[in-house]
Amino acid sequence: MLLVKPEQAMTRALSAGISFFQYRNKRATRKTIYETARLLSSVAHQSHALFIVNDHADIAEAVDADGVHLGQDDLPIEQARKILGSGKIIGISTHSREQAMAAERSGADYIGFGPIFPTTTKDAGELQGINTLKIVKSAVGIPLIAIGGITQKNIGDVIRSGADGAAVISAILSSDDITLASHEMMTVIAKLTR
Protein backbone atom coordinates (compact mmCIF):
# COMPACT_ATOMS: atom_id res chain seq x y z
CA MET A 1 0.00 0.00 0.00
CA LEU A 2 1.28 3.41 -0.99
CA LEU A 3 1.02 5.92 1.85
CA VAL A 4 0.19 9.43 0.71
CA LYS A 5 -0.91 12.61 2.39
CA PRO A 6 -4.65 13.34 2.32
CA GLU A 7 -4.25 16.25 -0.10
CA GLN A 8 -2.21 14.07 -2.46
CA ALA A 9 -4.86 11.36 -2.38
CA MET A 10 -7.55 13.97 -3.06
CA THR A 11 -5.63 15.45 -5.99
CA ARG A 12 -5.18 12.01 -7.55
CA ALA A 13 -8.85 11.13 -7.09
CA LEU A 14 -9.90 14.52 -8.49
CA SER A 15 -7.88 13.84 -11.63
CA ALA A 16 -9.96 10.69 -12.16
CA GLY A 17 -13.25 12.56 -11.90
CA ILE A 18 -14.29 12.05 -8.29
CA SER A 19 -16.09 15.18 -7.16
CA PHE A 20 -17.43 14.51 -3.65
CA PHE A 21 -15.04 14.01 -0.74
CA GLN A 22 -15.40 13.35 2.96
CA TYR A 23 -12.53 13.79 5.39
CA ARG A 24 -12.75 11.19 8.15
CA ASN A 25 -10.13 10.82 10.86
CA LYS A 26 -11.19 9.20 14.11
CA ARG A 27 -7.73 9.21 15.70
CA ALA A 28 -6.40 12.74 15.21
CA THR A 29 -6.71 15.67 17.56
CA ARG A 30 -9.33 18.28 16.74
CA LYS A 31 -6.53 20.70 15.85
CA THR A 32 -5.07 18.24 13.33
CA ILE A 33 -8.53 17.55 11.91
CA TYR A 34 -9.08 21.28 11.54
CA GLU A 35 -5.72 21.89 9.84
CA THR A 36 -6.12 18.98 7.42
CA ALA A 37 -9.75 19.84 6.69
CA ARG A 38 -8.80 23.44 5.96
CA LEU A 39 -6.23 22.29 3.40
CA LEU A 40 -8.58 19.73 1.83
CA SER A 41 -11.41 22.26 1.63
CA SER A 42 -9.15 24.59 -0.34
CA VAL A 43 -8.00 21.83 -2.72
CA ALA A 44 -11.57 20.61 -3.29
CA HIS A 45 -12.98 24.07 -3.92
CA GLN A 46 -10.21 24.95 -6.38
CA SER A 47 -11.42 21.95 -8.41
CA HIS A 48 -15.13 22.70 -7.89
CA ALA A 49 -15.58 19.48 -5.88
CA LEU A 50 -17.78 19.08 -2.80
CA PHE A 51 -16.02 18.63 0.53
CA ILE A 52 -17.60 17.28 3.71
CA VAL A 53 -16.06 16.97 7.18
CA ASN A 54 -16.93 13.88 9.18
CA ASP A 55 -18.45 14.29 12.67
CA HIS A 56 -17.55 17.92 13.43
CA ALA A 57 -20.06 20.57 12.32
CA ASP A 58 -18.02 23.33 13.95
CA ILE A 59 -14.87 22.36 12.06
CA ALA A 60 -16.86 22.07 8.83
CA GLU A 61 -18.08 25.63 9.37
CA ALA A 62 -14.62 26.91 10.34
CA VAL A 63 -12.96 25.58 7.17
CA ASP A 64 -15.85 26.57 4.87
CA ALA A 65 -16.57 22.96 3.97
CA ASP A 66 -19.69 22.24 1.96
CA GLY A 67 -21.13 20.37 4.93
CA VAL A 68 -20.80 17.68 7.55
CA HIS A 69 -21.41 13.95 7.73
CA LEU A 70 -22.73 12.79 11.08
CA GLY A 71 -22.91 9.44 12.81
CA GLN A 72 -25.79 8.20 14.92
CA ASP A 73 -23.94 9.23 18.10
CA ASP A 74 -22.90 12.69 16.88
CA LEU A 75 -24.63 16.04 17.19
CA PRO A 76 -28.32 15.86 16.16
CA ILE A 77 -29.07 17.05 12.63
CA GLU A 78 -31.13 19.98 13.91
CA GLN A 79 -28.21 21.27 16.01
CA ALA A 80 -25.72 20.80 13.16
CA ARG A 81 -28.08 22.84 10.97
CA LYS A 82 -27.99 25.67 13.52
CA ILE A 83 -24.19 25.72 13.25
CA LEU A 84 -23.96 25.37 9.47
CA GLY A 85 -27.07 27.19 8.29
CA SER A 86 -29.41 26.25 5.48
CA GLY A 87 -26.88 26.49 2.67
CA LYS A 88 -24.67 23.61 3.80
CA ILE A 89 -25.05 19.85 3.27
CA ILE A 90 -25.79 17.54 6.18
CA GLY A 91 -25.54 13.80 5.75
CA ILE A 92 -25.83 11.05 8.32
CA SER A 93 -24.90 7.39 8.50
CA THR A 94 -27.89 5.10 8.96
CA HIS A 95 -28.13 1.38 9.55
CA SER A 96 -31.85 0.67 9.25
CA ARG A 97 -34.96 1.78 7.38
CA GLU A 98 -36.20 3.50 10.54
CA GLN A 99 -32.99 5.49 11.00
CA ALA A 100 -33.04 6.51 7.34
CA MET A 101 -36.63 7.74 7.54
CA ALA A 102 -35.91 9.59 10.79
CA ALA A 103 -32.90 11.27 9.19
CA GLU A 104 -35.03 12.49 6.30
CA ARG A 105 -37.69 13.84 8.69
CA SER A 106 -34.95 15.64 10.66
CA GLY A 107 -33.73 17.49 7.58
CA ALA A 108 -30.78 15.43 6.34
CA ASP A 109 -29.77 16.23 2.77
CA TYR A 110 -28.59 12.67 2.17
CA ILE A 111 -28.07 9.45 4.06
CA GLY A 112 -25.21 7.04 4.14
CA PHE A 113 -26.57 3.51 4.46
CA GLY A 114 -24.83 0.28 5.36
CA PRO A 115 -22.68 -1.55 5.82
CA ILE A 116 -23.67 -3.14 2.54
CA PHE A 117 -20.69 -5.53 2.52
CA PRO A 118 -18.18 -6.56 5.21
CA THR A 119 -15.72 -3.76 5.99
CA THR A 120 -12.64 -3.33 8.14
CA THR A 121 -12.57 0.45 7.84
CA LYS A 122 -15.03 1.00 10.66
CA ASP A 123 -17.41 -0.84 12.95
CA ALA A 124 -20.67 0.06 11.26
CA GLY A 125 -22.91 -2.52 12.86
CA GLU A 126 -24.84 -5.40 11.38
CA LEU A 127 -24.36 -6.21 7.71
CA GLN A 128 -27.28 -4.81 5.68
CA GLY A 129 -26.73 -6.14 2.17
CA ILE A 130 -28.14 -5.23 -1.23
CA ASN A 131 -31.75 -6.28 -0.53
CA THR A 132 -32.02 -3.99 2.49
CA LEU A 133 -30.44 -1.19 0.47
CA LYS A 134 -33.31 -1.52 -2.04
CA ILE A 135 -35.91 -1.41 0.76
CA VAL A 136 -34.36 1.69 2.34
CA LYS A 137 -34.00 3.45 -1.02
CA SER A 138 -37.72 2.98 -1.67
CA ALA A 139 -38.56 4.39 1.79
CA VAL A 140 -36.75 7.75 1.46
CA GLY A 141 -36.82 10.60 -1.02
CA ILE A 142 -33.33 11.96 -0.39
CA PRO A 143 -30.10 10.65 -1.95
CA LEU A 144 -28.75 7.40 -0.52
CA ILE A 145 -24.99 6.80 -0.46
CA ALA A 146 -24.06 3.16 0.10
CA ILE A 147 -21.33 2.55 2.66
CA GLY A 148 -19.26 -0.43 3.71
CA GLY A 149 -16.94 -2.73 1.81
CA ILE A 150 -17.57 -1.26 -1.63
CA THR A 151 -15.06 -2.21 -4.30
CA GLN A 152 -14.78 -2.07 -8.06
CA LYS A 153 -16.15 -5.63 -8.16
CA ASN A 154 -19.39 -4.84 -6.31
CA ILE A 155 -20.02 -1.16 -7.11
CA GLY A 156 -22.18 -2.20 -10.07
CA ASP A 157 -24.51 -4.16 -7.78
CA VAL A 158 -24.75 -1.14 -5.47
CA ILE A 159 -25.68 1.31 -8.23
CA ARG A 160 -28.10 -1.13 -9.90
CA SER A 161 -29.82 -1.53 -6.52
CA GLY A 162 -30.72 2.15 -6.45
CA ALA A 163 -27.91 3.82 -4.52
CA ASP A 164 -27.24 7.37 -5.69
CA GLY A 165 -23.56 6.97 -4.92
CA ALA A 166 -21.06 5.04 -2.84
CA ALA A 167 -18.58 5.94 -0.13
CA VAL A 168 -15.29 4.22 -0.88
CA ILE A 169 -12.17 4.26 1.25
CA SER A 170 -10.06 1.10 1.17
CA ALA A 171 -10.66 0.17 -2.48
CA ILE A 172 -9.07 3.46 -3.50
CA LEU A 173 -6.66 4.44 -0.72
CA SER A 174 -5.12 0.98 -0.38
CA SER A 175 -4.41 0.85 -4.11
CA ASP A 176 -0.89 1.37 -5.41
CA ASP A 177 -2.39 3.76 -7.96
CA ILE A 178 -5.10 5.98 -6.48
CA THR A 179 -5.79 7.68 -9.80
CA LEU A 180 -6.28 4.39 -11.64
CA ALA A 181 -8.43 2.88 -8.87
CA SER A 182 -10.59 6.02 -8.82
CA HIS A 183 -10.89 6.05 -12.61
CA GLU A 184 -11.91 2.37 -12.72
CA MET A 185 -14.60 2.95 -10.10
CA MET A 186 -15.93 6.02 -11.95
CA THR A 187 -15.99 4.11 -15.23
CA VAL A 188 -18.25 1.42 -13.77
CA ILE A 189 -20.60 4.05 -12.33
CA ALA A 190 -20.67 6.05 -15.58
CA LYS A 191 -21.67 2.97 -17.60
CA LEU A 192 -24.61 2.31 -15.27
CA THR A 193 -25.88 5.86 -14.98
CA ARG A 194 -25.90 6.98 -18.61
Options 12, 88, 93, 175, the catalytic residue: 93
Please give the Cα distance from 75 to 130 (Å, whole number): 28
Element (H, E) at 128: none
Q: Is 106 considered catalytic here?
A: no
Q: Is 93 considered catalytic here?
A: yes
Beta-carbon contacts of 88 under 8 Å, excluding residues fewer than 6 positions away, are: 60, 61, 65, 66, 67, 68
Options 38, 97, 122, 134, the catalytic residue: 122
Is 13:40 a contact under the CB 8 Å cutoff? no
Ramachandran class of 12: left when φ > 0, alpha when ψ lies in -120 to 50, beta otherwise: alpha
Options 24, 38, 97, 134, the catalytic residue: 24
Long-range CB contacts for residues 185-192, cutoff 8 Å, separation at least 24 = 185/18, 185/152, 185/155, 186/16, 186/17, 186/18, 188/152, 188/155, 188/156, 188/159, 189/155, 189/159, 189/165, 192/156, 192/159, 192/160
Q: Is 122 considered catalytic here?
A: yes
C-alpha 28, offset from chain centre: 19
Provide the annotated active-site residues. Answer: 24, 93, 122
